[in-house]
Structure 1
Amino acid sequence: MTQARFNAFMASTDVADTFQAFKDICTLDLPSEPQSPTSSFYETFKAAVAPRVIYRQKTLFAVLDRKLVAARAGRVVSTKPFEPKRFVVSGAGPCGLRAAVELAAIGHSVTVVELRKDFSRHNMIKTWRGTVMDLGTLGLGQYTGFAPHGMLHLETRVIQLVLLKTALLFGVRVSYDVGVCGLVDPAFHPTESNRFAAWTLPSVDARAACRCRSATAAPAADEPAELALKPSGVDDIEATGERRSKVDFIQRAVTADGAVLPRNGTLDPRATLLEFDGLMIAEGEASTLLRHLGFDRKYARFAEAIGMVVNLEFSPAVATAQRGVRSPELLLKEFVIGRTQAGWSKGILGDLDRAGVQIENVEYMRGLRTHFMVVTVKRASLLAAKVIKEDLGAIRDTLTASNVDLVELRRFARSIASSAGIPSDAPFCDRHGVQLFDFSSKAMTMQSTRTLESETGARAFVLPIGDAFQAPFWPQGLGVNRGFQTTLDAVHAAHTFFADSPDAALEERAFSRRTSEWMTLQDSHLRPPTAEEPWTCDPVSRYDIAIYKMIHKHDMADKNVLLSRAGFWKDRPAFDDSDGQAVAAARIPMPKRISEALGLVDTRGRAIVSPGA
């Protein structure tokens, strides 16, 4: 029965159940042939399923209909008819899936590959209201029943679940337990349609291939989750990187084309080829693919900072509580407290301090099924609690598996959780129950794009997104929130590359990067999306006009910008955005499309908003 199968799809909570429910619907309810040659997968799915489900579930299709209308109305204005392109997204984290959904909504063909087998992250993310509303335009309320309230936060896995389901409905092909090992140039190894291709292997083999290619590869699948540290890279680049200042370092790419299988190379016979016109790399900060495609990375180092994340399931008392009676642990108030706040000694920090445990700050949030705590802890406290066996100097060395007592780490985490009121019988989550990580630095790629060109004439556009592009300073809480914005900026550039021109794409991407960095991006700097006007990949639909006005006013007052504007993009191939100082000095001009759309200049390029406005 269609209703029952769709119920299973809507209620699924993990990758396997979602795929099985979706497969059942596709096999048993969808016609073998689309209604018409021009019908999209989503239109075929909706026509077969929507008439057979209850009214409340029909609202999902109404929400997604509005999203598709907005996305396609926002396509780049071009004299050329729209031509769908093939995109591969490497990484199914929140930003990778967000990119896939937007590309598919525009009308492109998208394939996503992910090394993990399932949603392994329980972490809570403090979400901006705009981020939650954006997810609402993609089905959040229909899939989970979530409604914005109080201190907004969502589990990473919930964000991924919502985006995965909508991606499947939009026709995105998603493969878990698979990884991208490298790229294939059609001039060296012919591909079916003369496109560049990503070659993939099952995750175990893909991880091995990455470890062989680089010593900085992601941790092996069997490494203790507690020590799957967020890699800062700072310890390495102090010795091997370029120092720009006391706190700024540059880590140059290992190679420019090392990820491309050489002419005399042999393709693994087990490999699957995924041809693409555009490649979005969402593999996180430790991406080896980027390091071998010529992407440099800049780091800003701060004082040593060690974080500890604790994920606990609800205690058995929650499941056994009488109907209508809430377990006390579900009445715990969420909180954030640090030593800089007045009265900190009267709460949990004071209790821990008197017990000899010194931590800088602690935050507690509760999800649908789990408790979540994140703590900034001093190295001395970890040593005193015997979590660290000995101080080996650098964080990367000190927190190696052989130097951390996992039993003591869990005991330490349990003591902090108990101080917050979490019952002692609340079990640690199976995966990432407690995890240490280093957030002593933040990093960003120095190039926003890369164009691959083959002797055959094939061309492909490569863009890093999410933490692979920009890994922000953790306490700022900008990860997914800002990640969604820079990801949508990248999607806009990728679409513009093919719908308009490569030069227009480079201009749009460079200026959107300037816009997002104009000030520390906050929720108030964005236009709130609505059901009628959801965010699209076009930056004008998302960034508040006030930011554009500030940039415009600044540029109008700067004669150097006015003088350089006309010729700035003329010699674009010679412009290297790897030099951050050059980018800042150049003050990348606002694209005429944006200034005209916002009414900042007239059609002849004359300013409407004067410098004194």
Structure 2
Amino acid sequence: MFDPAEVNSAELGQIIAEEAERKQKARLEKELAWQKVRRFLVEEEQKASLRQEMSTNTTSKSVDDSATHPESNGDSFGTVRLLDSVRSGEDFAYNRSVSSDVDAAPIVDSSLARPKAASADLTAPAAPVQVTKEAPTTFAGHMDRMGNRLAQFLNRGPSTESSEEDSGILKSRRMLPSLGDKSSNEHPFIGGKASDRITLMATLEQITRMCQRTDLSEGSMARISTHLASINQIVCDDMDKKSGLSKRGIRRLSRTNRPKEERDQDGQDKDAEGPILPVEEESSGFMITVIPSPMPENLNVASTVLNSFKAFEAAQDLGDTLMRFNKLVADCGLEGTAVDEPWQLYSHIKAAIYNKLSFRCKQLFRLLDARFNVDVYKSNPASRKRVCIIGGGPVGLRAAIETALLGGQVVVLEKRALFSRENMLHLWPWVVQDLASIGAKVLFPQFSKSSSYFHISTRQLQLVLLKVALLVGVTVYSSTSFESLVAPTSDDKEKPFYTVTTEPQIPTMEFTAVLSASGNNDKLADSAGINRFVFCRKEALGIVCYFPNLGTSEEAKVKEFSWTSQVKHQMLDKLREVGIDIENIVYYRGEMHYLVMTPKRQNLVQRQVVNEDLADSADLVLDENVNSSALHEYVNAVVDFVGIPRKTEFTRVSLFDFSSRSRADKAANVLTAHGKKLYVGLIGDSLLEPLWHEDVGTCRGFLSAMDSVWMIAQIGKQSDEQLLADRENGYRVMQTVSTLRREDLRKNVRKYTVDPASRYSAGSLQSAMPAIRLLQ
């Protein structure tokens, strides 16, 4: 298997041409083989006819024999004529299995060769599929033996018919149900297209066996999973079309043949009806139960609803996305309409626009339907729980989506008015699979297209997650910062619960839990009784720069890379020869050419990038101590060395310090005052700051988000002590996950859910339990 995204157009064209040539050659070989078979059968028929003429007489006995044994009459159904029909797929049935060479050959149903005089009543129930012994020698039996000889001939093996007959061995054969068999309706025959169908099924089975025999890497599993989602979409669409036919029987009336009243009704309801949904059944593999989306009563869907959805999908900024989503809600007739549960908003929007969407956009709703139908989400364990999430970054928005999928009501506070961070985030394979499963590929078609590394800019990832969050019912407040938590007092009857103060102030409401995903600028920890402390003070300086990618062929030729001194990369030695001394450098290409590197202090001083060699690294990188022109020259020298054709100005070049990293002493806490509780927790960088070149930030952030959401979903089902112990358990396992240590995560990334047991290996969870017991 290969990913078309990994090859250029020339290579892809060559592959297609070679594949077409191979298929043409196979067709010619097949035709030649058939002509050989046909000539062989014609000769056999001629010999049999000659023997019959020699043995028959014109006496009355021959007439009686003919009447008694009609199968001996060769004209009743010619062998060549029968096999001609077999070849055209008009009047045959066969079964095929790839389990053996013999089974791979077609097995002709002998009932097709029976003359009408000797056939059983087709309306009578037929016997079920079973293994039977060879029938007595009749014309039908002759056809079975002919089929065996045909199979031997096509497999380039000698015919064993005579030897089998001489030895008297009883052969077993799988018999297909006859035309009158009611059970045959379960596996309808597809005439004319059978070879294409078998080829497809055999290919899929072969791929499955290859995957079972091969120890696939996590990257390969993630890529295969993204393509499986597309295959699932095609199958589901085909099932939807056929489910619409099942109620009318096998023969479907054309629109012109149907009653006028029915046609008129179709015309009236065409725009209002929801998507064709399969009958609800238990989920199995890729077969999912699509969530029904009945239109709420008395809603006026505007004619511009499709344009509104397209505008929402194309939005490229925070404020623009929120504005266009509000317009979409209004065009769906939902403005000012209260919904009991957040997912109902999603359901109503889907019902209003689904039939008008393109295939690609429908895939977004199908993916979300599939997520809603995973067992752990079906029971809505977070229902009637309201959660406030501080921070609209990737981790905060991912936590918001997961909470909404579990049935919770979510409010997100984002202090920024714009999404402007272009820094690239490295994505682990399970994160790629997770994002693809909620529609990232639909909303951002360039997602995971790189053939070298999985990455996405922070801004694009925020946009993707924001759009999904809004669709599943999350409320987002932009330009709104969190200020503090206020505990209830005995004399405050208007607010007998913990309240969240913001700037500007959002409507006052009671929250079940508050999660902070605001990075190292966290304000929640102090009031939540969580201690954040600096655990690493090793000096680490960084330079980040990026500039627009114009998409030229020259730019596309430059390969992405990650060079690090930990593995003594030789290119770092060559960089030192041109006066650039750095420890690590990463280059990713997306909408921007993105480079981030860790220069050594002495090298910056020598190149006069800094004006003074100040002792404190935080003071060293202050704007007033940085020589901007020298910094640009330094970065430009790196860009020229790696061979990136820069035709535009730098969008950003900056020197920063990440010497001190902080972490929290615990992941969550429970606050209590005057009989009221508030569950609080930290996620993402607020919980544990990573080193950027370790490539674990997004991975650990998503793990912490799901662990915290799972804790919220279990509120009321477990004791507070158990909730905190389980959350601390996940926190300790998460800290050990790194690029060099992945065994604590399960290998089957497609089965990851909000439940920690689906993501962490059983051994890793058990190893963390002794430390949890000590805390208790």
Q: Scaled by the length of structure 2, what TM-score is found? A: 0.56
Greater CA drift, 85-94 or 16-25: 16-25
1:359 & 1:36 partners in 2: Cα distance? 56
Residue 106 of structure 1: CA displacement? Answer: 0.6
2:479 & 2:757 partners in 1: Cα distance? 36
In structure 2, the CA distance between the partners of 1:468 and 1:412, relative to structure 1 (3 Å rule), is same
- Please name the residue that 1:601 is paired with: none
Residue 461 of structure 1: CA displacement? Answer: 0.7
Match of 1:105 among 405, 421, 426: 405
| SS of residue in 2 equivalent to 1:382 | helix
In structure 2, the CA distance between the partners of 1:147 and 1:192, relative to structure 1 (3 Å rule), is farther
In structure 2, the CA distance between the partners of 1:8 and 1:474, relative to structure 1 (3 Å rule), is same
| SS of residue in 1 equivalent to 2:519 | coil
Identify unmatched segments of 5+ residues in structure 2.
Answer: 1-303
In structure 2, the CA distance between the partners of 1:337 and 1:22, relative to structure 1 (3 Å rule), is same
Match of 2:708 among 490, 505, 530: 490
- Please name the residue that 2:437 is paired with: 137
In structure 2, the CA distance between the partners of 1:370 and 1:384, relative to structure 1 (3 Å rule), is same
Alignment of 1:164-243 (within 5 A): 164-187=466-489, 190=492, 194-202=496-504
- Please name the residue that 1:125 is paired with: 425
Alignment of 1:447-466 (within 5 A): 447-455=666-674, 457-466=675-684
- Please name the residue that 1:354 is paired with: 577
Q: Does the alignment pair 1:404 with 2:404?
A: no
Deviations 1:281-328 (A, max 9, x none): 11102313324443212433264221111121125xx4xxxxxxx430
AA matched with 2:563: I
Identify unmatched segments of 5+ residues in structure 1.
Answer: 203-269, 319-325, 556-560, 562-582, 590-613
In structure 2, the CA distance between the partners of 1:24 and 1:189, relative to structure 1 (3 Å rule), is farther
- Please name the residue that 2:313 is paired with: 10
1:443 & 1:109 partners in 2: Cα distance? 31
| SS of residue in 2 equivalent to 1:471 | coil
RMSD between aligned alpha carbons? Answer: 2.8
- Please name the residue that 2:220 is paired with: none
- Please name the residue that 2:363 is paired with: 59
In structure 2, the CA distance between the partners of 1:529 and 1:114, relative to structure 1 (3 Å rule), is farther
1:343 & 1:509 partners in 2: Cα distance? 39
2:352 & 2:716 partners in 1: Cα distance? 33
2:507 & 2:339 partners in 1: Cα distance? 30
Residue 447 of structure 1: CA displacement? Answer: 2.1
Report if the CA contact (8 A) 1:14-1:119 is conserved: yes
Q: Does the alignment pair 1:69 with 2:288?
A: no
Residue 197 of structure 1: CA displacement? Answer: 1.5
Residue 520 of structure 1: CA displacement? Answer: 4.0
AA matched with 1:536: T
In structure 2, the CA distance between the partners of 1:374 and 1:191, relative to structure 1 (3 Å rule), is farther
2:333 & 2:380 partners in 1: Cα distance? 32
Residue 462 of structure 1: CA displacement? Answer: 0.7
In structure 2, the CA distance between the partners of 1:293 and 1:530, relative to structure 1 (3 Å rule), is closer
Report if the CA contact (8 A) 1:443-1:470 is conserved: yes
Report if the CA contact (8 A) 1:526-1:543 is conserved: yes
- Please name the residue that 2:20 is paired with: none
2:569 & 2:338 partners in 1: Cα distance? 66
In structure 2, the CA distance between the partners of 1:194 and 1:46, relative to structure 1 (3 Å rule), is farther
2:601 & 2:490 partners in 1: Cα distance? 51
AA matched with 2:453: M
Q: Does the alignment pair 1:547 with 2:742?
A: no
| SS of residue in 2 equivalent to 1:310 | strand
- Please name the residue that 2:732 is paired with: 514
AA matched with 1:331: K
Alignment of 1:572-583 (within 5 A): 583=771
Q: Does the alignment pair 1:363 with 2:582?
A: no
Report if the CA contact (8 A) 2:663-2:689 is conserved: yes
In structure 2, the CA distance between the partners of 1:76 and 1:303, relative to structure 1 (3 Å rule), is same
1:113 & 1:50 partners in 2: Cα distance? 30
In structure 2, the CA distance between the partners of 1:274 and 1:419, relative to structure 1 (3 Å rule), is farther
Deviations 1:154-196 (A, max 9, x none): 2112221111111000111111211011122232784856331
2:686 & 2:654 partners in 1: Cα distance? 21
Residue 506 of structure 1: CA displacement? Answer: 1.2
1:177 & 1:307 partners in 2: Cα distance? 29
- Please name the residue that 2:244 is paired with: none
Alignment of 1:376-455 (within 5 A): 376-429=598-651, 433-455=652-674
Deviations 1:566-588 (A, max 9, x none): xxxxxxxxxxxxxxxxx48x567
AA matched with 2:554: P
Report if the CA contact (8 A) 1:71-1:102 is conserved: no
| SS of residue in 1 equivalent to 2:678 | strand
- Please name the residue that 2:698 is paired with: 480
In structure 2, the CA distance between the partners of 1:406 and 1:272, relative to structure 1 (3 Å rule), is farther
1:169 & 1:179 partners in 2: Cα distance? 23
Greater CA drift, 95-104 or 327-336: 327-336
Report the count of equivalent residues.
469
AA matched with 1:129: P
Greater CA drift, 27-36 or 406-415: 27-36
Richer in strand (by share): 1
Alignment of 1:225-264 (within 5 A): none
- Please name the residue that 2:269 is paired with: none
| SS of residue in 2 equivalent to 1:547 | helix
Report if the CA contact (8 A) 2:329-2:335 is conserved: no
In structure 2, the CA distance between the partners of 1:147 and 1:423, relative to structure 1 (3 Å rule), is closer
Q: Scaled by the length of structure 1, what TM-score is found? A: 0.71
AA matched with 1:115: K
Deviations 1:309-366 (A, max 9, x none): 1121125xx4xxxxxxx4301221111223454561xx4x345322322111211110
Greater CA drift, 89-98 or 289-298: 289-298
| SS of residue in 1 equivalent to 2:563 | strand
In structure 2, the CA distance between the partners of 1:548 and 1:154, relative to structure 1 (3 Å rule), is same
- Please name the residue that 2:185 is paired with: none
In structure 2, the CA distance between the partners of 1:388 and 1:178, relative to structure 1 (3 Å rule), is same
AA matched with 2:329: C
1:503 & 1:161 partners in 2: Cα distance? 37
| SS of residue in 1 equivalent to 2:610 | coil
Q: Does the alignment pair 1:331 with 2:557?
A: yes
In structure 2, the CA distance between the partners of 1:307 and 1:511, relative to structure 1 (3 Å rule), is same
In structure 2, the CA distance between the partners of 1:32 and 1:396, relative to structure 1 (3 Å rule), is closer
AA matched with 2:687: F
Give the 4+ runs in structure 1 shifted more than 6 A: 33-36
In structure 2, the CA distance between the partners of 1:57 and 1:485, relative to structure 1 (3 Å rule), is same
Higher Rg of the two aligned structures: 2
AA matched with 1:286: N
AA matched with 1:143: L
2:564 & 2:614 partners in 1: Cα distance? 28
Sequence identity (%): 30
Residue 544 of structure 1: CA displacement? Answer: 3.0
Report if the CA contact (8 A) 1:298-1:443 is conserved: yes
Greater CA drift, 419-428 or 43-52: 419-428
